[in-house]
Structure 1
Amino acid sequence: MKNKKKRFMFVSASILLLIVAIVFIFVLNSFDPQRKLLKENSNTFINTINSLEPHKDYYLANIIPFEWDSMYVFPEYTDKEDVTKVIGFESNSVQMSSSESMQQIIIVKNKEIICYVQDMDYKLGFSIDRKGEDYLAMKIGEKYKVNVNLKDDFKYLEFTPLN
């Protein structure tokens, strides 16, 4: 009888501890200001791109609605190590994209990722043309024209450097 009671107490305490740990992790993550900023900026960026009118030219500096230093675009299956090498620092936000037609868009300010978008083109509603390059890297001081093309109700963005 004592063993059953001890076992019951042990199982009950374990379950209670697990529940407390899950609640703690959830509460801790919901108050992380960096995670909140990252999510807000990512949603704002996606909405801004989707609001661009087709067959018009824009300037990159004008379509990113928050302060930034660099923007990077990587294709599907890009290793986390390769992304880290290109952006110049490690971040827990970076993941390897694991599906066809998935792209990663990373926007950085002061060596910190402030916008991270990783999804399939058709879910985002747009695709960024890398012009055959392994990745795109653009800096705030560089001027880029952004051309928005529309094909089958899908937006294709093309970045052209201006000299």
Structure 2
Amino acid sequence: MKKKTVVSASIFSIIIILIFVNLFKDEVWEENATKLKASFHPVSGSAIIDDFATWTPFKWDTLYSFSPYTSKDIIYNTVGYKWDKIDETVSEGMTQIVFVNDGKVVCYLYGHPENNNIGFDFGEYTGNYIKLTNEQKLRFKVTELNNIYYLDYIK
């Protein structure tokens, strides 16, 4: 009887530990957002990136940049599924970018450049979003100012 209790308690403890580890583990899109921001640390001043896909520290095939004030429903419908609690941008200077690989979100950037240490400018939007692919060899001018990296899309 005592052995059965010890085994049951051990199994229960392992299950509880696994639950807590998963609760506090960052999702893949959060981990990749952190990696992406860190990938620009070697840049000082300004630089040109000739192929953004080779610069990113994760695999992606499609990038969506959403215009300010785009609703969550439009974002979810455009990307193809609901992957997490997201917020709508509330001002013109905010970033809302989703990287997708094989139909799954692999990176999500949201917020002001000052809070994220990274900001993107894709120019004018004709609609709610811009869709780009890694096959397009995306070019950006990167400017570092006070440890904030501004990426201006070069068409």
Do the two structures share a fold, i.e. TM-score over 0.5? Answer: yes
Unaligned runs of 5+ in 1: 1-23
2:135 aligns to what SS in structure 1? coil
- What's the offset of the Cα at 1:27? 5.9
In structure 2, distance between residues paired with 1:29 and 1:90: 26
Is 1:44 aligned to residue 35 of structure 2? Answer: yes
Provide the residue aligned with 1:138 in structure 2. 132
Unaligned runs of 5+ in 2: 1-15
Amino acid at match of 1:102: M
Structure 1's 53 and 104: CA in aligned 2 closer, same or farther, altered over 3 A?
same
In structure 2, distance between residues paired with 1:94 and 1:159: 27
Provide the residue aligned with 2:11 in structure 1. none
In structure 1, distance between residues paired with 2:111 and 2:42: 18
Q: Is the 8 A contact 1:72 1:138 kept in 2?
A: yes
Any idea what the Cα deviations from partners look like across 1:102-132, whole Å, max 9, x if unmatched?
2212111111101112122211123211201
Provide the residue aligned with 2:19 in structure 1. 28
Is 1:73 aligned to residue 65 of structure 2? Answer: yes
1:49 aligns to what SS in structure 2? coil
Amino acid at match of 2:45: P
Residue 155 of structure 1: which of 145, 149, 152 is its match?
Answer: 149
Structure 1's 75 and 40: CA in aligned 2 closer, same or farther, altered over 3 A?
same
Provide the residue aligned with 1:83 in structure 2. 75
CA-based RMSD = 2.9
Q: Is the 8 A contact 2:89 2:111 kept in 1?
A: no
- From the CA coordinates, give the structure whose radius of gyration is larger: 1
Is 1:112 aligned to residue 92 of structure 2? Answer: no
Residue 123 of structure 1: which of 101, 104, 115 is its match?
Answer: 115
| Higher percent of residues as helix | 1
- What's the offset of the Cα at 1:86? 2.6
Aligned residue pair count:
136
Structure 1's 118 and 92: CA in aligned 2 closer, same or farther, altered over 3 A?
same
Structure 1's 36 and 81: CA in aligned 2 closer, same or farther, altered over 3 A?
closer
Higher relative contact order (CA 8 A, sep 6+): 2
Q: Equivalent pairs: percent with the same residue?
A: 18
